[in-house]
Chains A and B, each alone.
Chain A
Amino acid sequence: NSMDRGAWQATVHGVASRVLVASRHFANDATFEIKKCDLHRLEEGPPVTTVLTREDGLKYYRMMQTVRRMELKADQLYKQKIIRGFCHLCDGQEACCVGLEAGINPTDHLITAYRAHGFTFTRGLSVREILAELTGRRGGCAKGKGGSMHMYAKNFYGGNGIVGAQVPLGAGIALACKYNGKDEVCLTLYGDGAANQGQIFEAYNMAALWKLPCIFICENNRYGMGTSVERAAASTDYYKRGDFIPGLRVDGMDILCVREATKFAAAYCRSGKGPILMELQTYRYHGHSMSDPGVSYRTREEIQEVRSKSDPIMLLKDRMVNSNLASVEELKEIDVEVRKEIEDAAQFATADPEPPLEELGYHIYCNDPPFEVRGANQWIKFKSIS
């Protein structure tokens, strides 16, 4: 995957160098106004203006487009029954994963729930590995054994199926960050549905008590599976639910807003003040999972309205084009390249063989020497190695 990253970077530089000649037609950067964040227990919030460089803009655009197309490809593969099991897509929420990554360092840590394909990509894995994991092949990032909900990467702790269970884990990772003293923070994400789980409040208390560098992030996409936030929560001000933990509410469809808020929150944590809570107001176009059409609890008009007015990729594109940071053609070219990359990855994911049955019992324990695990009956045995 480092090769893929390298290839990707080369492509970006390739594009950059090709247009370097024509760069005199483009601005190097532009300043944008971003929405002011609602604040809880904070005197000041993130800045209301930010500078976006051309390079960053192209990078974010490419990343968001890659996540978008990857999710749509996963949708297609699922309908063809090449991907099976559970599949939770995050198209519509690209500004969250790309924006968060833009506000932190690769050495920071991130943990989230099951809507994790976008984060897996932004944390450094290639589309190939992600799609191959979805199709359950040996080239997948979890060797084909984890599937959609269980993808992991360096400093990315998944990928967790049980709702809310990842939040105390995130607090623990933050404890390790504080202990190791390397100025790292942990982004601990959960959704609006999970916000009502008891263990989240336990984690809030521990993090605040011990001043852990933990950024709690509620990705509020308005629906916990099929239940709208109004019907699930006594208070839908998720950024205030940390009570004694300061919070901010962020426009999760605007990547620049997310980036600035993340930088602000990370700086807050790194200064040793303790945890902070961010609510990202965002939206998912797909249903909860591929088994949910997503239109029985919300109207198609609502989905259409978000798509036409608040689509994160469209918002970035408009900004860049209108400020002369990029041309429409250039961005279209990126679209074409991304499409090709996804196509190739999908090819790989479809053609790669499944992991061998011998490996079914691996990694149950950490053990030496190998021991035997019984299969579905006592005459099928698997060797368990780890």
Chain B
Amino acid sequence: MAAVAAFAGWLLRLRAAGADGPWRRLCGAGLSRGFLQSASAYGAAAQRRQVAHFTFQPDPEPVEYGQTQKMNLFQAVTSALDNSLAKDPTAVIFGEDVAFGGVFRCTVGLRDKYGKDRVFNTPLCEQGIVGFGIGIAVTGATAIAEIQFADYIFPAFDQIVNEAAKYRYRSGDLFNCGSLTIRSPWGCVGHGALYHSQSPEAFFAHCPGIKVVVPRSPFQAKGLLLSCIEDKNPCIFFEPKILYRAAVEQVPVEPYNIPLSQAEVIQEGSDVTLVAWGTQVHVIREVAAMAQEKLGVSCEVIDLRTILPWDVDTVCKSVIKTGRLLVSHEAPLTGGFASEISSTVQADPLECRGSLRPSREGA
């Protein structure tokens, strides 16, 4: 609740300053004190455990992809993997404990259906898993590797950044590991603490040659994962673990693709642009609803979806319209991906504008 309240407070100040006023003027007067208190001032409330709050908001049932089924996030992932293994005979899935179905049940039933040659366990060795996956991909097979938690991906960081990302470039396109996809549970879950909660997308965003994708829902996950698997570049697909069970919606049974590097404007608005990815999208959707109801502020909500390469056009277009941007993510602030987005948007308004097609209409 604290996060939502804080956002609302920010927007309250915005309103008080006037929609046309300099939007950075944050020290507005006559505001509810609650939003500006330091931690110690929370008093007794501070001693209670504060769990981050969000409510998953399902999207309306998609109609253009045929029959749908109610699925949660891990079932949507299983469905995507099932589709992949069915249509691509070279596709293999491997990682720690994937054979019995995986610690989050993302690979349930696949070994029985496709055989132990195509769905198999690896020992406990992340660097080995990714290196091995790059090797499979270089020969042309489709390698879908699982890293059990994003927190464990760091032994594989060298393989991803130094090997996978640069293979095509350094071989002059003679070789590539584009058919490698790395899937990993990501983000906070409430009880994960240091090593089961991390969001490392910013570390990978600093590396050209790979793609980084974070879905917000089962429907998005299946389409984006299928796109990652089919994309001819090595992709890292981070799955918000708190949504594995909490997110349920209607998902098409047949395969379908959601394009990478395209952000989605979930809700149109005119006063401020809110950008997020993964679980946080649902938080800011709630904030947008609160802002509209209580403050009359109209928010444009954007789900970034692909972190790298990110959809500069959509975000810039939105900010040009609203004049204000707020980016929210779970990862630490300093060097987080929000800093990249905000610096690009602010760097040069003309440059930002220049990336759009000119749209001058007559009066």
Contact = CB atoms under 8 A, between A and B. Distances in A.
Interface in A218-258: 224-227, 231-233
B38 A381 contact: yes
Q: How large is the interface on B (under 10, 10 to 19, 20 to 34, 35 or more residues)?
A: 35 or more
A194 B123 CA distance: 9
Contacts of A297: 100
Interface string A352-386: 01101110100000000000001111111110000
A147 interface: yes
B191 interface: yes
Interface stretch (B63-71, B192-200, B251-259, B341-349): B192-200
Given A86-B193, A377-B6, A232 B123 contact: yes
A380 B2 contact: yes
A358 B40 contact: yes
A199 interface: yes
Contacts of B127: 198
B289 interface: no
A231 to B, nearest CB: 7
B38 A354 contact: no
A196 B40 CA distance: 46
Contact of B125 (A162, A196, A231, A379): A196
A296 to B, nearest CB: 8
A357 B46 contact: yes
Given A84-B191, A231-B121, A380-B2, A226 B39 contact: no
A47 interface: no
Interface in B187-221: 191-196
B246 interface: no
A57 interface: no
B26 to A, nearest CB: 9
A226 B124 CA distance: 11
A84 B192 CA distance: 10
Contacts of A375: 39
A352 to B, nearest CB: 12
B125 A376 contact: no
Given A85-B191, A226-B97, A197 B39 contact: no
A194 B155 CA distance: 13
A358 B46 CA distance: 9
Contacts of A86: 191, 193, 196
Contact of A360 (B35, B39, B124): B39
A161 interface: yes
Given A196-B124, A226-B97, A232-B124, A377 B40 contact: no
B3 A376 contact: yes
Contacts of B40: 357-358
A379 B193 contact: no
Contacts of A357: 39-40, 42, 46-47
B124 A197 contact: yes
A197 B7 CA distance: 43
Contacts of A226: 97, 100
Nearest to B123: A196
Candidate in A149, A296, A379, A381 with the most chain B CB atoms within 10 angstroms: A379
B152 interface: yes
Contacts of A84: 191
A380 B333 CA distance: 13
B171 interface: no
Interface in A280-327: 296-297
A377 B36 CA distance: 11
A382 B39 contact: yes
Given A85-B193, A376-B2, A379-B9, 11 more contacts: A86-B193, A163-B152, A197-B125, A225-B97, A227-B96, A232-B121, A354-B49, A375-B39, A379-B35, A379-B36, A380-B38
Interface of A: 84-86, 147, 149-150, 161-164, 193-194, 196-199, 224-227, 231-233, 296-297, 353-354, 356-358, 360, 374-382
Interface of B: 2-3, 6-7, 9, 35-40, 42, 46-47, 49, 52, 96-97, 100, 121, 123-125, 127-128, 151-152, 155, 191-196, 333
20 contacts: A86-B196, A150-B194, A197-B125, A198-B155, A199-B155, A224-B123, A227-B96, A227-B121, A231-B121, A296-B100, A354-B49, A357-B39, A358-B40, A375-B39, A376-B6, A376-B52, A377-B2, A379-B36, A380-B6, A381-B39
Nearest 10 pairs of A and B residues by beta carbon = A377-B6, A196-B123, A357-B46, A161-B195, A193-B124, A232-B123, A85-B191, A196-B124, A196-B125, A380-B39
